[in-house]
A and B are shown apart, each in its own frame.
Chain A
Amino acid sequence: MSRAVVINGECLVKVRFGAHIEHIFDPLGEEIESEGVFYELGLSEDQIRITPRFVHKDIRVDDFGDEVPAEVMAKLAEITITMKLIHYDPSILDVCIAESLGGNAILGTEMTGAGALMGQNVIPGGEGNHFIGLSLMSPVLNKPNFFPTSYLAVRPVEIPLGTERTVVLCNWRAIPYGRPGLDGSEIQSSGTRLWLPVSSDV
């Protein structure tokens, strides 16, 4: 029998930035080590939630009446990932916020120009691409989740400050980033990667 109570296990969150992020330092000036191209962001206070939003469009035919479709078009999807970070690296979170702002060089002080593209027509993880690769570990279930192009969005973070431990609420959005082909061909949605059952695409 393959059915069982499913337990993901301790879900460590790791992030990958574009190649333009070469070094990250903590407030004491010590460089933060990465594991390959990934940095450890942290652990959540409770369960991390993955909520996809599938987009469909009905195709109506008068013969079928005007409320129930005869066919439905699948029009891609996006994913929301929410987490409450409690044991995390604040310096890595700062970079996540800066990149999600379009590559803000100095967090909160120098904004990237309005309208700047997050992907910059660069491959995920490439130099100039500000999307973040978000990886959720799965040590018990061995079914990790990787979102190659994500960013902190809408109400991206909520940071409580006081004498209690800070639990940061993070809202991520993952999209199927598309870019023109190397041969100059148009952007195509077919084959774009949104959500992978691996820990990395490297």
Chain B
Amino acid sequence: MSRVVYVNGETMVYVKGNTASPIANISELGLAESPIRVTLDSRYLDVQVDAWGGEIPIDVQNRLSAINVSMSLVHFDPAVLEACVEESMGASTFGVLARAGNLMGGNAPRFNPLNHYIGLNLASPVGLRPWRFYFAYLVGPPMDWPLGTERSVVTLNWRAVPYTQDPWNGGLGASGYVLFDRTLDT
């Protein structure tokens, strides 16, 4: 029987940014207070035909997917977190803005200094099903950091998108594109 009660285990969050960032090497971001949530955001387009009534589709077109990851970090590295915020702002210095309209990917490959996407990795020591999201960033609201005498539990919302430098891909488009996989960055 392959059915089990699935337990992911202690889910360490690792991040890796471009070679010019403070997180150029794989870095431990931290541990969450409660389960980290991975939510698939898949988009579809109904194909409507009048002969079918025009409201229920005869078929559905797949329009690719993004991933939303939310977490509440309670045991974390503030310096690594600041680096994530900095990169997610498309910037090179924490607290300093990048030009408005700056492209996150910078039309550059992964880990190139112009590419500000972050590799987001979730360990899985018990379930043995880790996650690696190649192109992730903090988004809406990216970070909620309470300050006071209690321990800070920082809420983060990540989004992983299928970034590409060439959407044409030799006529293949998104076919074969790896949005996430089970091998952690090193």
Interface residues of A (CB under 8 A from B): 5, 7, 9-10, 12, 40, 43, 87, 137, 139, 162-165
Q: How far is the CB of B174 from chain A (nearest CB, A)?
A: 9
List chain A residues, Cβ under 8 A from B103.
165
Q: How far is the CB of B163 from chain A (nearest CB, A)?
A: 13
Known: A5-B47, A10-B171, A43-B167. A165 touches B59 (CB 8 A): no
Establish whether residues B167 and A139, one from each chain, have CB atoms under 8 Å apart when the complex forms.
Answer: no
Of residues 163 through 186 on chain B, the ones whose CB sits less than 8 Å from some CB of chain A are 167-169, 171-173
A-B pairs with beta carbons under 8 Å apart, 23 shown: A5-B47, A5-B59, A9-B171, A10-B167, A10-B169, A10-B171, A10-B172, A10-B173, A12-B171, A40-B168, A43-B167, A43-B168, A87-B167, A87-B168, A137-B171, A139-B172, A139-B173, A162-B101, A163-B99, A163-B100, A163-B101, A164-B101, A165-B101
The 4 closest A-B pairs by CB, nearest first: A163-B101, A139-B171, A163-B100, A10-B173
CA distance A143 to B22 in the complex (A): 49
List chain A residues, Cβ under 8 A from B172.
10, 139
Q: How far is the CB of B26 from chain A (nearest CB, A)?
A: 31
Q: How far is the CB of B128 from chain A (nearest CB, A)?
A: 37
Interface string of B89-123 (1 = CB under 8 A from A): 00000000001110100000000000000000000
A-B interface contact total, Cβ < 8 Å: 30
Establish whether residues A10 and B168, one from each chain, have CB atoms under 8 Å apart when the complex forms.
Answer: yes
CA distance A137 to B170 in the complex (A): 11
Q: How far is the CB of A27 from chain B (nearest CB, A)?
A: 14
Q: How far is the CB of B80 from chain A (nearest CB, A)?
A: 30
Q: How far is the CB of B165 from chain A (nearest CB, A)?
A: 9
Apart from A9-B173, A10-B171, A139-B171, 14 more pairs, CB < 8 Å: A5-B47, A9-B171, A10-B169, A10-B172, A10-B173, A12-B171, A40-B168, A43-B167, A43-B168, A87-B168, A139-B173, A163-B99, A164-B101, A165-B103
List chain A residues, Cβ under 8 A from B173.
9-10, 139
Task: For chain B, give the interface size range.
Answer: 10 to 19
* Interface check B2, CB cutoff 8 A: no
* Interface check B58, CB cutoff 8 A: yes
List chain B residues, Cβ under 8 A from A9.
171, 173
Q: How far is the CB of B59 from chain A (nearest CB, A)?
A: 6
Nearest neighbor of B168 in chain A, beta-carbon distance: A12
Pick from A10, A12, A162, A165 the residue with the most CB of B within 10 Å.
A10
Q: How far is the CB of B57 from chain A (nearest CB, A)?
A: 10
CA distance A43 to B173 in the complex (A): 11
CA distance A159 to B59 in the complex (A): 36
Nearest neighbor of A7 in chain B, beta-carbon distance: B61
Q: How far is the CB of B106 from chain A (nearest CB, A)?
A: 13
Q: How far is the CB of A179 from chain B (nearest CB, A)?
A: 34
Of residues 37 through 75 on chain B, the ones whose CB sits less than 8 Å from some CB of chain A are 47, 58-59, 61
Pick from B47, B59, B101 the residue with the most CB of A within 10 Å.
B101
Interface string of B148-169 (1 = CB under 8 A from A): 0000000000000000000111
CA distance A16 to B139 in the complex (A): 42
List chain B residues, Cβ under 8 A from A40.
168
List chain B residues, Cβ under 8 A from A163.
99-101
Of residues 114 through 150 on chain B, the ones whose CB sits less than 8 Å from some CB of chain A are none
Q: How far is the CB of A182 from chain B (nearest CB, A)?
A: 37
List chain A residues, Cβ under 8 A from B168.
10, 12, 40, 43, 87
CA distance A164 to B101 in the complex (A): 5
List chain B residues, Cβ under 8 A from A7.
61
Establish whether residues A5 and B58, one from each chain, have CB atoms under 8 Å apart when the complex forms.
Answer: yes
